[in-house]
Amino acid sequence: MKAYRDMTRGELVELKEVLEQQYKEKMALGLKLDMSRGKPSVAQLDSIMGMMDLLDSRSDYRTEEGFDSRNYGAMDGIFEAKKLMAEIMGTTPEHVVVYGNSSLSIMYDSISRCYTHGVMEGDIPWCKLERVKWLCPVPGYDRHFAITERFGMEMILVPMKEDGPDMDLIERLVAEDDSIKGIWCVPKYSNPQGISYSDQTVKRMAALKPKAKDFRIYWDNAYAVHHLYPDAPVEILDILSECEKAGNPDLVYEFASTSKISFSGAGIAAMAASPANLKEIRDQLRIMTIGYDKINQLRHVRYFKDLKGVQEQMERHAELIRPKFEAVLEILERELGELGIGFWKKPFGGYFISFEAMEGCAKAIVKRCKDAGVIMTDAGATYPYGKDPKDTNIRIAPTFPTLEEIQKAAELFVLCVKLVSVEKLLEQK
């Protein structure tokens, strides 16, 4: 096949007609598919149901420390749940607070707390500041950006590179501007690109010297154990100990949950931080709750027991979703591999494939897909304010549909990429 850019106008016109005919045929199929959100499939959820058989009316609901998990108390989580979440994050239980079902809520609460009360006692609450800025590696996670947008922060785009965000830029920005108060990071199998931070990136992040002493790294370790190839798992350095080593123990808040390990909505979520940070966090918790759902914490610990149990579950997930990722990648490669109209990288974990279209084409491709019955994540969603400056990035979420549906959706997707690219090239000729 010939790269589209090398085609003459005549060839493109001819090609466009063929593609339009194919698109018409696809539309006639009346597809109704959704590749928009990173949701586990029914089969993934079915694979964890044994967890629901562990606690019944005859069970002992006491924790290892003899505490009745059915009653009030244990505001920051039961110890064995701290231990489990610490193992997932690669830290120790002393660094961990276990919350309710959502790590997104912890991030929201955390930013809200800093906004209303300041990061540490004595710090100026962000609501009293003229301007708060936030670093946003892009493409990134739309729900992160939605939180910082809600709190009126000015979001600064930081390009992602092969081994994490552009650290040169980050180091320079945080050193010179004390209104920059934080950065969103998904350090492993990033959303949407599946990029994992190199050791050097983690070390440079941990060694940042921000001008704002109340700057924090929001380290959303959302895909810590979410390997597509469990035999060759990607591992990243533990940010908490790297920060300690760099003399920056308080620089980071780390987040994780079991939403994509056990149940999306009925999992457990946790935060890890330094003792000084945890003091502030507990001071807030003490006011806002008498404790989270400890029965669900206990249920998780009884089922998984430890990291090994979690890894076994994630192997079951990998079996289920790896074929879907590979099917999409195979179709991308087969249909677009030599055309020069789109780029992607094979992810080794996480929930997404990130597709880079030609400039100015992403929105049109997503619209074409939608018109033919395939919902993709909105183009732009992977950028702050929903605005992708070059209109190139499209996030593909292959986990939820069945393999057959995924294949149909991907076939339509590549057709739309071709069609929109041809139209764009014709505009330019």
Is position 100 an interface residue for a copy of itself (rule: CB under 8 A)?
yes
Residue 217, H or E segment: strand 216-220
Is position 266 an interface residue for a copy of itself (rule: CB under 8 A)?
yes
Is position 181 an interface residue for a copy of itself (rule: CB under 8 A)?
no
Tokens of 246: 């760099």
Is position 133 an interface residue for a copy of itself (rule: CB under 8 A)?
no
Q: For residues 338, 340, 345 and 346, what is the CA-based torsion angle, rounded to 10 degrees?
A: -20
Task: Write the interaction track for a copy of itself spanning residues 202-241; mark x where CB under 8 A is met and - where it is not.
Answer: ----------------------------------------
Q: Which is nearer to a copy of itself, 126 or 197 (CB)?
A: 126
**What are the contacts of 52-60 at 24+ separation with CB within 8 A?**
52/299, 54/299, 54/302, 54/303, 55/295, 55/298, 55/299, 55/302
Q: Which is nearer to a copy of itself, 37 or 161 (CB)?
A: 37
Task: Write the interaction track for a copy of itself spanning residues 39-68; mark x where CB under 8 A is met and - where it is not.
Answer: xx-x--x---xx-xx-xxx-x--------x
Count of residues binding a copy of itself (CB under 8 A)? 56
CB of 297 to a copy of itself, least distance (A): 9
Is position 348 an interface residue for a copy of itself (rule: CB under 8 A)?
no
Among 190, 191, 258, 264, binds a copy of itself (CB under 8 A): 264
Main-chain dihedrals φ then ψ at residue 376, nearest 5 degrees: -110, 165
The piece of 13-21, 145-153, 303-311, 390-398 that touches a copy of itself (CB under 8 A) is 145-153
Strand partners, 252: 217
For tokens 């059915």, what's the residue? 70
Is position 21 an interface residue for a copy of itself (rule: CB under 8 A)?
no
CB of 300 to a copy of itself, least distance (A): 12
Q: Which is nearer to a copy of itself, 291 or 342 (CB)?
A: 291
The residues near 6 (Cβ < 8 Å, ≥ 6 apart) are none
Greatest pairwise CA separation for the chain in angstroms: 78
Tell me the CB-side half-sphere exposure of residue 51, using CA atoms within 13 A: 24
Among 137, 230, 291, 342, binds a copy of itself (CB under 8 A): 291
Tokens of 357: 């279209």
Q: Which is nearer to a copy of itself, 262 or 354 (CB)?
A: 262
Is position 385 an interface residue for a copy of itself (rule: CB under 8 A)?
no
Among 64, 290, 330, 338, binds a copy of itself (CB under 8 A): 290
The piece of 8-16, 96-104, 347-355, 358-366 that touches a copy of itself (CB under 8 A) is 96-104
Is position 69 an interface residue for a copy of itself (rule: CB under 8 A)?
yes
Q: For residues 67, 68, 73 and 79, what is the CA-based torsion angle, rounded to 10 degrees?
A: 40
CA dist list (Å): 239 to 24, 69, 167, 250, 311: 51, 31, 15, 11, 21
Q: Which is nearer to a copy of itself, 226 or 294 (CB)?
A: 294
Q: Is the dihedral of CA 75, 80, 86, 91 positive or negative?
A: positive
The piece of 10-18, 163-171, 257-265, 338-346 that touches a copy of itself (CB under 8 A) is 257-265
The piece of 33-41, 185-193, 323-331, 407-415 that touches a copy of itself (CB under 8 A) is 33-41
Residue 121 to residue 308: CA distance in whole angstroms: 39
Which of 47, 46, 39 has its CA nearest to residue 324?
Answer: 39
Q: Which is nearer to a copy of itself, 112 or 241 (CB)?
A: 112
The piece of 88-96, 98-106, 224-232, 412-420 that touches a copy of itself (CB under 8 A) is 98-106
Residue 19 and residue 419 in contact, taking contact as beta carbons nearer than 8 Å:
yes
The residues in 267-286 that bind a copy of itself, with binding defined as CB under 8 A, are: 284, 286
Alpha-helical regions (H) of 151-293? 167-176, 199-206, 239-245, 275-288
DSSP state of 276: H
Q: Which is nearer to a copy of itself, 103 or 201 (CB)?
A: 103
Is position 109 an interface residue for a copy of itself (rule: CB under 8 A)?
yes
The residues near 159 (Cβ < 8 Å, ≥ 6 apart) are 137, 138, 165, 166, 169
For binding to a copy of itself (CB under 8 A), which residues are involved? Answer: 37, 39-40, 42, 45, 49-50, 52-53, 55-57, 59, 68-74, 100-102, 104-105, 108-109, 112, 115-117, 125, 127-128, 143, 146-147, 150-151, 259, 263-266, 284, 286-296
